[in-house]
């Protein structure tokens, strides 16, 4: 059976979407352009989100002391060895808040990536309170000529959870940023965490119809991970009994229940994450991402279900 996204996999998968969009496999190259974050430098708060340790996902070639071009070159070389099929790349501005600078500075940072011959597009990760009309106009101009997506860290629809993790903005801020971005003709991404302390499974499940109403193009989820050198890590080590975690198999079935209600137009970029073991304080999560993806697709088959099967358009 072919699903609305044009292939036989039971969810709107990122890898297929890329092949359809670019006609070939495309690899992301991460860049640390030296931005900081208003939730760290004191503008919103100085503590940062309690789960955050940017080092846990920063590849070795990413270093803000190197130019953007140099990081792209080294990133391409790094991936060329591992993913031989990729010949085109997306420049992924990942670390911290990549719109948190004056417009002139943003132009300086993004232009070398736009000029690189092997870069077919740009991915901009940021907070929803770090965008304004002027910056959106700048990105909208780029988006007319090149693939560009702005990915917002939303994390949860529950303001109490956002407060508990010291996120420094509420859910409505994300809704407004995503809507304004979409209205400018720019693709939008959103990131969520399942299992934030104090959030019940029912509360997490209730987010599916809420976020399905948003004009999101690509979406990422992952299970809560407790990372070293974070406030949450300290809280966990002091009071582990206050945290409950999904078991990997349980998470897969939870995510299938969630995906059944999710808007089928959303491209699912990721539903789990795996930080390098040296950053992981949590002991129950022993399955790799690829094993979980296989299990996810096997369980979709066994349950004879698919993304959006129970989605109700309003």
Q: Which residues bind ligand SF4 (CB under 6 A)?
A: 37, 39-40, 48-49, 52, 54, 96-97, 127, 153
Residue 96's CB is within 10 A of a number of other CB atoms, namely: 24
Whole-angstrom distance, CA of residue 94 vs CA of residue 64: 12
Residue with Cβ nearer ligand SF4 (40 or 222): 40
Least separation in angstroms between residue 77's CB and ligand SF4 is 27
Cα(275)–Cα(226) distance, rounded to whole angstroms? 9
Whichever of 71 and 97 has its CB closer to ligand SF4, that residue is 97
Q: Closest approach of Cβ 96 to ligand SF4, in Å?
A: 5
Q: Which is nearer to ligand SF4, 52 or 252 (CB)?
A: 52
Q: Least CB distance from residue 220 to ligand SF4, whole Å?
A: 13
Residue 19 CA to residue 87 CA, distance in Å, equals 12
Shortest distance, position 40 Cβ to ligand SF4, whole Å? 5
Contact 146, 172 (CB under 8 A): no
Using the minimum distance from each CB to ligand SF4, give the nearer residue, 32 or 212.
32
Q: Nearest-CA neighbor of 151 among 181, 120, 115, 173?
A: 181
In whole angstroms, how close is the CB of 41 to ligand SF4 at the nearest point? 9
Q: Of 138, 87, 79, whose CA–CA distance to 109 is shortest?
A: 138
Strand pairing category for 88-93 and 187-194: unpaired
Complex with ligand SF4: residue 26 or 149, whichever CB lies closer: 149
């Amino acid at each position: 059976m072919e699903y609305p996204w044009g292939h036989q996999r039971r969810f709107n998968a990122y890898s297929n979407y890329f092949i359809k969009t670019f006609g070939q496999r495309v690899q992301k190259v991460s860049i640390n352009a030296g931005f900081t974050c208003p939730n760290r430098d004191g503008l919103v708060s100085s503590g940062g989100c309690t789960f955050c340790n940017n080092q846990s996902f920063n590849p070795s070639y990413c270093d803000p002391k190197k130019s953007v071009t140099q990081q792209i070159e080294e990133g391409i070389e790094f991936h060329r060895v591992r993913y031989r099929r990729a010949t085109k790349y997306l420049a992924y501005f990942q670390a911290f808040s990549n719109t948190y600078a004056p417009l002139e500075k943003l132009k300086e940072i993004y232009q070398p990536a736009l000029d690189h011959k092997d870069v077919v597009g740009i991915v901009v990760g940021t907070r929803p309170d770090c965008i304004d009309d002027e910056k959106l106009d700048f990105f909208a101009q780029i988006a007319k000529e090149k693939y560009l997506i702005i990915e917002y860290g939303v994390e949860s629809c529950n303001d109490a959870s956002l407060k508990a993790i010291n996120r420094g903005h509420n859910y409505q801020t994300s809704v407004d940023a995503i809507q304004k971005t979409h209205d400018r003709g720019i693709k939008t991404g959103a990131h969520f965490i399942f299992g934030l302390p104090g959030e019940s499974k029912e509360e997490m499940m209730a987010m599916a119809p809420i976020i399905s109403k948003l004009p999101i193009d690509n979406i990422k989820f992952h299970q809560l991970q407790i990372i070293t050198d974070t406030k949450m890590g300290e809280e966990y080590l002091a009071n582990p009994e206050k945290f409950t975690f999904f078991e990997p198999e349980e998470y897969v079935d939870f995510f299938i229940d969630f995906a059944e209600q999710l808007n089928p137009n959303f491209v699912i970029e990721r539903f789990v994450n795996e930080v390098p073991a040296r950053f992981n304080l949590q002991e129950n999560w022993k399955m790799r991402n690829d094993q979980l993806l296989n299990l996810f697709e096997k369980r979709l088959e066994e349950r004879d279900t698919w993304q959006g099967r129970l989605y109700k358009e309003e």
